[in-house]
Amino acid sequence: MSRTALFEAIEAKLNTISGLLVKLGKLDIDEPIKPVAGAAPLSVDHTRTSKRTQSRVLEFNVQVLSDSLLQMEETVELVKAAMLDDPTWGALATDTELRSEEWLFFHPVFPQDGTNLRYAITY
């Protein structure tokens, strides 16, 4: 299983949310179209479960930005539902878990309201 297939599945799933601009990789915070979601891998943890079996956990961040708190909150709920809709990503993974949710209000770098959603995808 390749991580590329997982990245493509995540991008495709997020693109099903109406009115959401999706970008894999770093978001351009000056992007005028809102709401916007950036999805990017953070790390991969390799764990050997036996001599022949190895599992990996992909830490993945989805950042949602919006100029409106209410619009952002609605979009965050849609993103969370989409990301956990099929936790196996069509048999590409064994599980998906929402690990944390970080709000970006009053953040010096992000002038928009925002949320970081950190997921762990085991494959």
Residues 79-116: pLDDT tens digits? 999 999 999 999 999 999 999 999 887 666 656 678 99
* Contact between 69 and 34 (Cβ < 8 Å): no
pTM above 0.95, yes or no: no
Structure confidence at residue 33 as a pLDDT band (50, 70, 90): low
Q: How many domains does the chain have?
A: 1
Q: Which residue has the tokens 């979601």?
A: 37
Alpha carbons 87 and 84: distance in angstroms, whole number: 5
Q: Which residues contact 42 (CB under 8 A, 6 or more apart)?
A: 59, 60, 61, 118
**Residues of the domain holding 42:** 3-122
The CATH number covering residue 70 comes to 3.30.2000.10
Q: Specify burial of residue 116 (Cβ count, 10 A radius: 0-12, 13-18, 19+).
A: middle
